A and B are shown apart, each in its own frame.
Chain A
Amino acid sequence: GENVEQHPSTLSVQEGDSAVIKCTYSDSASNYFPWYKQELGKRPQLIIDIRSNVGEKKDQRIAVTLNKTAKHFSLHITETQPEDSAVYFCAASNPPNDMRFGAGTRLTVKP
């Protein structure tokens, strides 16, 4: 089955700096790669996703890149703000099959 690895587990950046979180996956059948932000005790909130037919997707300060050959994808947050502080999870799936999550990254943006 799919195995998703995520790094780093914790990340601390200064406000205004960029943050990068990286994930790798194992199942070549996976073709959908979402990123979620999760507040404590709440459901994961989709912030951006990418499908395997593109290599990069951007939405304002957030971008995701995908390298299918190497089976890795990354989340890039530019101009970080304190409200970006949260736990971020990557995931991989071949919809409508199950989705597997990475271990999570706790991002702290220092004012």
Chain B
Amino acid sequence: GAVVSQHPSRVICKSGTSVKIECRSLDFQATTMFWYRQFPKQSLMLMATSNEGSKATYEQGVEKDKFLINHASLTLSTLTVTSAHPEDSSFYICSAPRGRGGYTFGSGTRLTVV
């Protein structure tokens, strides 16, 4: 139980274009979704927290106009990287809290901006 489906798993886009990443909770209602970014050989860094029906909260240093987060339903949270540049190339992964204090992760999205 408590599965989060994340798509796409890999995406290559041209510099200046936008990319949307989706995280969908399949068998539970995710009122909160955490979005992380992981650069090669580094840790998972929290970018933002999305809450269903309200504005996302962003960590310091994360541009909210560049990383648009939408959490319009209890089962879907999306992250859109706008005007992507090569330095945005990274591994993006979502996570939702589940019962008994644990967290469930999406499978991650490898974004490459060329």
- Interface residue ranges, A against B (CB under 8 Å): 31-32, 34, 41-44, 46, 49, 51, 89, 93, 95-104
Contact = CB atoms under 8 A, between A and B. Distances in A.
B97 interface: yes
Question: For this complex, into which size category does the number of interface residues on chain B fall?
Answer: 20 to 34
A104 B42 contact: yes
Interface of B is mostly: strand
B108 A99 contact: no
Contacts of B108: 41-43
Nearest to A46: B102
A101 B110 CA distance: 19
A95 B42 contact: no
Given A34-B102, A46-B102, A95 B97 contact: yes
B107 interface: yes
A42 B91 CA distance: 9
B93 interface: yes
Given A34-B102, A49-B102, A99 B95 contact: yes
